[in-house]
């Protein structure tokens, strides 16, 4: 049996006919930029996130850049964020001329350690950019309290967290702005790139919308240097179909996660997400991430990889699962602060020890709404066999 980490095959079978109908409708309309589908999606997405406004754009990365620009964050400013995230989190900060300042993560939940944020605030700090990693919300009450005391803006990175909420309120509705990605592997995924920014501030929404179309509040009148970052009508049409099913898909992801936790909890050498979930947190389970603890895996297995970095217990575990037909993904093997592109920031190995340790231990098991019970049972059985042996 071959188990993929993610698959759209069954989803396409389920909603393919409906998708085809809306795409043909858009093709025949001749309105490929903007139009009814985009307006409809923006309205529906704002309603889902419980914000007053939603502005669509080309990608989650663009969402972060547009959000930072709208808040006048730029050259000489600092933005506090996490190094345990996809590169775009920091890349967006750098793209507007600001400097990312990284804090270590909480070993219990892999999110920014809230107790470390105020320690790195300087007169140049303008914003906090918390990441709701893997679909798990960070404590937004504490984030907002820190921001208020220190007069900072808050940009929520919700790229992996559509459908998640903190204390019953959707992520993306707490900060000044929320930034979402609709990359195909996300819980709400397009058939290509796409993104959105949510906010309750009318002026911010207007600024973001103008920046996304060349800084143009009205046709051929440009008040700032903007971008060409628009969500295509075809992608909006697909997202309109999928948005109505998002909650159902998240419930299925939750059921898969609960089963993993139940079935793997007896393996002491694996740290499961059940150990780090807050009662206030509604996880949207974009990824199911476990940690393979040091010196915990089979000692006599030798790495078959030519990559000298693939020699941790986690990497050996991954290789063995792959041999057995279970395909996994590592998010993320190298923290952002140790990426060559950020060498000039001055971070070195050991700067963020918890982040670095976790990056060497985490691995994401297969999880998507259409994962069949027999497939998940196979994954679980193979994991148990590896540790039993």
**Claim to verify: residue 33 and residue 88 sit in the same structural domain:** yes
**Claim to verify: residue 148 and residue 279 sit in the same structural domain:** no
Supply 380's token pair. Answer: 């679980």
Q: 290-318: b or e for each residue (b if 16 or more CB lie within 10 Å)?
A: bbbeeebbeeeeeeeeeeeebebbbbbbb
Asked if pLDDT for residue 116 goes beyond 60, the answer is yes
On the question of a cis peptide bond just before residue 355, with omega within 30 degrees of 0, the verdict is no
- Determine the Cα–Cα distance for residues 132 and 173; give it in Å rounded to an integer: 13
Domain limits at 253? 246-388
Let me know if residue 2 belongs to a domain.
no
Q: Which of 42-46, 110-114, 136-140, 296-300 has the lowest mean pLDDT?
A: 296-300
- Determine the Cα–Cα distance for residues 269 and 284; give it in Å rounded to an integer: 25
- Determine the Cα–Cα distance for residues 238 and 13; give it in Å rounded to an integer: 14
| pLDDT at residue 389 in the model | 74
**Claim to verify: residue 145 and residue 251 sit in the same structural domain:** no
| pLDDT at residue 128 in the model | 99
Query: What are the CB-based long-range contacts (under 8 Å, 24+) for 262-267?
Result: 263/380, 263/384, 264/290, 264/380, 264/383, 264/384, 267/383, 267/384, 267/387
**Claim to verify: residue 130 and residue 253 sit in the same structural domain:** no
**Claim to verify: residue 205 and residue 282 sit in the same structural domain:** no
Mean pLDDT for all residues in the chain = 94
Whether residue 106 contacts residue 136, with contact meaning beta carbons closer than 8 Å, is answered with no
Domain boundary among 243, 266, 292: 243
Domain boundary among 243, 276, 294: 243
CATH number of the structural domain spanning residue 70: 3.40.640.10
Let me know if residue 323 belongs to a domain.
yes
Percent of the chain with pLDDT strictly greater than 90 = 93
Asked if pLDDT for residue 307 goes beyond 50, the answer is no
**Claim to verify: residue 197 and residue 321 sit in the same structural domain:** no
Let me know if residue 3 belongs to a domain.
no
What total number of domains does the chain contain? 2
| pLDDT at residue 74 in the model | 98
- Collapsing DSSP to helix, strand or coil, 178 comes out as strand
CATH number of the structural domain spanning residue 337: 3.90.1150.10
Tell me which residue of 237, 212, 178 sits closest to 58, measured CA to CA. 212
Percent of the chain with pLDDT strictly greater than 70 = 95
Beta bridge partners of 129: 81
User: What is the tens place of the pLDDT at every residue in 191-240?
Assistant: 999 999 999 999 999 999 999 999 999 999 999 999 999 999 999 999 99
Which run of H or of E encompasses 154? Answer: strand 153-157
Q: 332-360: b or e for each residue (b if 16 or more CB lie within 10 Å)?
A: beebbbbbeebeebebeeebbeebbbbbb
Let me know if residue 340 belongs to a domain.
yes
Supply 276's token pair. Answer: 């780090």
Asked if pLDDT for residue 1 goes beyond 60, the answer is yes
**Claim to verify: residue 297 and residue 363 sit in the same structural domain:** yes
Let me know if residue 37 belongs to a domain.
yes
For residue 31, how many other CB atoms are within 10 A of its CB?
Answer: 13
Let me know if residue 95 belongs to a domain.
yes
User: What is the tens place of the pLDDT at every residue in 253-273?
Assistant: 999 999 999 999 999 999 999
**Claim to verify: residue 229 and residue 251 sit in the same structural domain:** no
**Claim to verify: residue 29 and residue 166 sit in the same structural domain:** yes
Torsion angle of the four alpha carbons 362, 366, 369, 370, in this order, in degrees rounded to the nearest 10: 180
- Determine the Cα–Cα distance for residues 29 and 136; give it in Å rounded to an integer: 39
| Helix intervals (H) in the chain | 9-29, 36-49, 60-70, 88-95, 140-150, 202-211, 233-243, 246-264, 313-323, 353-359, 373-388
Supply 298's token pair. Answer: 């089979």
DSSP string, 272-302: -GGGS--TTEE---S-EEEEE-TT-S-TT--
Domain boundary among 227, 243, 259: 243
| pLDDT at residue 278 in the model | 79
Asked if pLDDT for residue 306 goes beyond 50, the answer is no
Tell me which residue of 193, 242, 155, 239 sits closest to 60, measured CA to CA. 193
User: What is the tens place of the pLDDT at every residue in 73-97?
Assistant: 999 999 999 999 999 999 999 999 9
Model confidence band, residue 294 (pLDDT cutoffs 50, 70, 90): low
**Claim to verify: residue 55 and residue 141 sit in the same structural domain:** yes
**Claim to verify: residue 199 and residue 56 sit in the same structural domain:** yes
| pLDDT at residue 349 in the model | 97
Let me know if residue 164 belongs to a domain.
yes
Tell me which residue of 199, 184, 156 sits closest to 55, measured CA to CA. 199
| pLDDT at residue 295 in the model | 62
For residue 268, how many other CB atoms are within 10 A of its CB?
Answer: 9
Let me know if residue 202 belongs to a domain.
yes
Supply 194's token pair. Answer: 């796409």
User: What is the tens place of the pLDDT at every residue in 333-376?
Assistant: 999 999 999 999 999 999 999 999 999 999 999 999 999 999 99
Model confidence band, residue 138 (pLDDT cutoffs 50, 70, 90): very high
Q: With 0-12 CB in 10 A as exposed, 13-18 as middle and 19+ as buried, what is 52? A: middle
**Claim to verify: residue 232 and residue 358 sit in the same structural domain:** no
| pLDDT at residue 309 in the model | 42
């Amino acid at each position: 049996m071959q188990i993929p980490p993610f698959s759209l095959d069954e989803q396409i079978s389920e909603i393919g006919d409906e998708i085809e109908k809306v795409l043909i409708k858009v093709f025949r309309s001749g309105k490929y930029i903007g139009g009814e589908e985009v307006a409809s999606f923006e309205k529906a997405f704002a309603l889902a996130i419980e914000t007053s406004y939603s502005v669509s754009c080309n990608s989650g990365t663009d969402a972060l850049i547009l959000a930072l620009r709208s808040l006048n964050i730029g050259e000489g400013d600092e933005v506090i964020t996490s190094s345990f995230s996809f590169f775009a989190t920091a890349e967006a900060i750098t793209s507007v001329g600001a400097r990312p300042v990284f804090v270590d993560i909480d070993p219990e939940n892999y999110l920014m350690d809230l107790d470390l944020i105020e320690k790195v605030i300087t007169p140049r700090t303008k914003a906090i950019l918390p990441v709701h990693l893997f679909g798990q919300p960070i404590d937004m009450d504490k984030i907002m309290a820190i921001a208020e005391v220190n007069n900072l803006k808050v940009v929520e990175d919700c790229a992996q967290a559509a459908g998640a909420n903190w204390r019953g309120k959707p992520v993306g509705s707490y900060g000044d702005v929320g930034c979402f990605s609709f990359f195909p592997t996300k819980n709400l995924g397009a058939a290509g790139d796409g993104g959105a920014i949510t906010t309750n501030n009318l002026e911010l929404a207007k600024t973001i919308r103008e920046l996304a179309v060349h800084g143009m509040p009205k046709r051929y009148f440009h008040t700032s240097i903007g971008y060409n970052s628009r969500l295509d009508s075809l992608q909006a049409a697909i997202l309109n179909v999928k948005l109505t099913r998002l909650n159902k898909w998240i419930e299925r992801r939750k059921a898969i996660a609960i089963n993993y936790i139940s079935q793997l909890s007896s393996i002491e050498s694996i740290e499961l997400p059940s150990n780090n979930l807050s009662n206030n947190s509604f996880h949207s389970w974009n990824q199911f991430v476990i940690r393979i603890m040091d010196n915990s895996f089979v000692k006599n297995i030798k790495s078959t990889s030519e990559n000298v970095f693939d020699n941790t217990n986690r990497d050996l575990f991954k290789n063995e699962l792959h041999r057995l037909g279970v395909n996994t993904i590592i998010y993320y093997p190298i923290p952002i602060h140790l990426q060559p592109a950020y060498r000039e920031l001055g971070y070195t190995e050991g700067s963020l020890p918890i982040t670095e340790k976790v990056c060497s231990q985490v691995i994401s098991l297969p999880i998507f709404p259409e994962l069949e019970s027999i497939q998940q049972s196979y994954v679980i059985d193979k994991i148990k066999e590896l540790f039993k042996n």
